[in-house]
Structure 1
Amino acid sequence: MTATLPPSPATTREATGTTDAAPPRRRAVTAWVAIALGLLVIGGIGGAVSAANQWAQRGALDPDSTGPAGARALAEVLRDHGVEVEVARDRAAASAALGRGPATLVLPDAPALSDDAVAALADAASDVVLIEPRARTLDLLLPGASPAGVAADDAVPPDCDVADADRAGAIAPGGLYEPGDATGCYPAGEGFGLLVADTPGGRVAAVDARALFTNDVLAENGNAALAANLMGRHPLVVWYVPSVGDTDLADSDPSLGELTPPWVSPVIVLLLVTGVAAGVWRGRRFGPLVAERLPVTVRASETTEGRARLYARARDPLHAADRLRIGTLRRLAALLGLGGNAAAPDIADAAAGRAGLDRRLVRGILIDDIPRTDADLVALSARLTDLEAAVHAAVRPEGSPR
């Protein structure tokens, strides 16, 4: 009667082609996939938060921005007073909004617009409030006016005949301006914090809105009242937000391509193609490093002694002695279990203590004695050899296990 033995686990794995390494491999792959998905999710959340934050802050003095430098709070104050605030992010939209009826144009600095474009926007509005007055805009819309520095942080009274400023009360004006033909309010230093000039169709005012009308300072002093009084004189406020793309300036400077001859670009392309072809043709691929067995292995002691012989031939016994001593010190340090950075006096003391020799004698052999002649050098070499043999015998006596 024969008994049939069940197949062993190893035989079963060989027959089915499975191994013990399969489950761990699957777990490792699953872990890496989970890590990659986690990083993608975290990156997506971070990108969304960053984009939302940038959208909320926008630029300085933007009426849609809720950041500290934005002007969303002022826009809401005007709307609460029944004034419609329309944000125009291009010159065409601003012109269209101003054409609907009496309106106040809130105009920041617009370096991308020409003088004619700025003047056309101002002419289409009933009132103009310059919230970032620069020298060009001041000279264009308030002839004779110019920047005059920055005021201190102290609040000053209006001290002028402008009713809107009198109702608002004291403010800390920030930027100061020379009035020219305009009326100046809030005197400080050598200028005024507010300029107002009447025009045939309305009024032009200039004020440093970065110091007065942004979200973080609007509630201070009479800032909010002054902003509402200057901008709320008409039922519509058109707040122009300039951008670099919204420009009417023509770039008259020639480009690099226009300045170079027409044959330069083809020659550059040809040189690049030639360089790539030469690299493919003459290039060499560096493979892995290959260990090469040297035909002869030279012991460090033999190298040291050979160098010492060269110094001896050169009639320089001191350098030859130094080379011999350095070799002996290295071997003694290794023999005594000292570190590679051990000082020569420490090695000499350890060797003397181990071999039971006088410390001054050992220091003289290893450090202090100065050979003057070749005979002294030979004698020193012999003493070094004897010292090393004595220490070796003390550390590893014959018959002791290696």
Structure 2
Amino acid sequence: MTAAALDTSTPVPASPPLGAGGSGGSSGRVGPAGPRRGRRWAAWVSIGLALLVIGGIGGAVSAANQWAQRDALDPDSTGPGGTRALAEILRGHGVDVRVVRDRAAAAEILGTAPATLVLPDAPALSDDAIADLASGATDVVLVEPRARTLDLLLPGSAPAGVAPDAAIGPDCDLDAALRAGALAPGAVYSAGDAEACYPADAGYGLLVRSADGGRIAAVDARPLFANEHLAENGNAALAVNLLGRHPLVVWYMPNPGDTDLANANPSLGDLTPPWVSAVIVLLLVAGIAAGVWRGRRFGPLVAERLPVTVRASETTEGRARLYARAGDPLHAADRLRIGALRRIAALLGLAANAAAPDIADAAAGRTGLDRRAVRGILIDDVPRSDADLVALSTRLRDLEDAVRTAVRPERSPR
């Protein structure tokens, strides 16, 4: 059939427009909105109450035990980086361990009896404040020394890198190190005039210098004295031997507010209590919930019928008119051939992605027709007019019938 034969003057039927009455003229409501809106509000209220309960529980836990996550090397912390285990071991040996977070209180306690001062890095204190605090102690153990602290209390010493992650022997005559044995010291320091143990590369893991009847020691306590590492190698033995020489241990934990520097500016994270993080997370969740609740909805709120229903045959006729208007019979022939090739391949049991030449050869072999003629019908022949297109359409239909007859002879037309 030609494209012109497909032309028709039959008008396209259309369904009544929306709002014209009947089923198309509904107001857009699909059901009672009151109960549904009430259920939606109840769901959001439940979510809000759940978030408030979770936030309250989190705040209560945080206020009760500060999450047991204080600063690193804190004797009150039971976290992996704390030193609560070491403090309890010292107390078990009869040593009075006092955790002090105020410099003035630490100096007052140190003046009451011979004591060991455990001094972490204190960037909020001046050089004079550190020297004055250390001068009141019999022994000083620097558990997290930096270059400034080493230069103040162990002149000539300085950080010298990090030791390999392997146990190292003491290689010195210090009793505390000999009783502890091998360990992995972490950071190492240049010795200066101090006695040095645990040599690694260009430094030593432990420095000890005698001064005024006492001694000053420096060691990287994070990989040795922290809760998660205390049971490894000889870490616990070294810690007890260094800190337990006197019946009193004053463990000073500096805080940003305990400073004598005029221009000390603690960070916001140092000044805020731990529960602030939980509140921030709660506010973020509440903001996301509010965005989902009040955010813009995409797509129609109710289902609608299309105003016009178009039959498949009408789209075929429309496409035929376009081909006829373009005067391109070859393009129309290609569409006919694609459909015929797909159906013939299905009849012959070929794959959906089989090539056109393979389908043509299989059809010729199955029907016994000349292979060149079959290829001409399915591939090679070029229609140059509407008459040629009609003839090609007839030949395609005859070839498809022949293949169907050869494959299913009992279903062939009589």
Specify whether residues 341 and 143 from structure 1 end up closer, same or farther in structure 2 by C-alpha distance, changes over 3 A only.
farther
Post-superposition shift, 1:187? 2.5
Match of residue 234 from structure 1: 246
Contact 1:335 1:392 in 2 (8 A): no
SS in structure 1 of the partner of residue 249 of structure 2 = strand
Total equivalences in the alignment: 326
CA distance in 1: counterparts of 2:322 and 2:153, whole angstroms: 90
For residues 2-401 of structure 1, what are the structure 2 equivalents within 5 Å? 55=67, 59-91=71-103, 93-152=105-164, 153-160=166-173, 162-200=174-212, 202-243=214-255, 250=263, 287-288=301-302, 290-294=304-308, 297=311, 299=313, 300-309=315-324, 312-313=327-328, 317=330, 319-328=331-340, 332=343, 343=354, 358=369, 360=371, 364=375, 367-371=378-382, 373-374=384-385, 376-386=388-398
- Segments of 5+ residues of structure 2 without an aligned counterpart are 1-42, 269-296
Post-superposition shift, 1:291? 3.1
Contact 2:116 2:139 in 1 (8 A): yes
Residue 159 of structure 1 aligns to which amino acid in structure 2? C
CA distance in 1: counterparts of 2:65 and 2:373, whole angstroms: 77
Post-superposition shift, 1:333? 8.2
Contact 1:129 1:206 in 2 (8 A): yes
Post-superposition shift, 1:381? 3.1
Root-mean-square deviation (Å): 5.1
Contact 1:94 1:240 in 2 (8 A): yes
Contact 2:344 2:400 in 1 (8 A): no
Post-superposition shift, 1:84? 0.4
CA distance in 2: counterparts of 1:305 and 1:109, whole angstroms: 87
Post-superposition shift, 1:392? 9.5
Post-superposition shift, 1:346? 11
After TM superposition, the score normalised by the length of structure 1 is: 0.60
CA distance in 2: counterparts of 1:224 and 1:150, whole angstroms: 20
CA distances 1:152-173 after superposition (whole Å, capped 9, x unpaired): 413313424x444455444443
Specify whether residues 343 and 91 from structure 1 end up closer, same or farther in structure 2 by C-alpha distance, changes over 3 A only.
farther
Contact 1:135 1:147 in 2 (8 A): yes
Specify whether residues 64 and 341 from structure 1 end up closer, same or farther in structure 2 by C-alpha distance, changes over 3 A only.
farther
Of 340-349 and 64-73, deviating more is 340-349
- The structure, 1 or 2, with the larger RCO (C-alpha pairs under 8 Å, 6+ apart) is 2
Residue 371 of structure 1 aligns to which amino acid in structure 2? V
CA distance in 2: counterparts of 1:323 and 1:93, whole angstroms: 95
Contact 2:341 2:378 in 1 (8 A): no
Contact 2:346 2:352 in 1 (8 A): no
Contact 1:348 1:366 in 2 (8 A): no
SS in structure 2 of the partner of residue 187 of structure 1 = strand
Specify whether residues 74 and 347 from structure 1 end up closer, same or farther in structure 2 by C-alpha distance, changes over 3 A only.
same
Contact 1:108 1:130 in 2 (8 A): yes
SS in structure 2 of the partner of residue 105 of structure 1 = strand
Specify whether residues 284 and 58 from structure 1 end up closer, same or farther in structure 2 by C-alpha distance, changes over 3 A only.
closer
CA distances 1:43-77 after superposition (whole Å, capped 9, x unpaired): 89x979x9799845655433234455432332223
SS in structure 1 of the partner of residue 169 of structure 2 = coil
Of 175-184 and 218-227, deviating more is 218-227
Contact 1:156 1:170 in 2 (8 A): yes
Residue 380 of structure 2 aligns to which amino acid in structure 1? D
Post-superposition shift, 1:377? 4.2
CA distance in 1: counterparts of 2:180 and 2:312, whole angstroms: 96
Contact 1:170 1:221 in 2 (8 A): yes
CA distance in 1: counterparts of 2:325 and 2:257, whole angstroms: 79
CA distances 1:253-281 after superposition (whole Å, capped 9, x unpaired): 9x9xxxxxxxxxxxxxxxxxxxxxxxxxx
Post-superposition shift, 1:118? 3.7
Residue 178 of structure 1 aligns to which amino acid in structure 2? S
Specify whether residues 295 and 342 from structure 1 end up closer, same or farther in structure 2 by C-alpha distance, changes over 3 A only.
same
Contact 1:352 1:359 in 2 (8 A): no
Post-superposition shift, 1:323? 2.5
SS in structure 2 of the partner of residue 204 of structure 1 = strand
Post-superposition shift, 1:106? 1.1
Post-superposition shift, 1:189? 2.2
Post-superposition shift, 1:226? 2.5
CA distance in 1: counterparts of 2:68 and 2:336, whole angstroms: 77
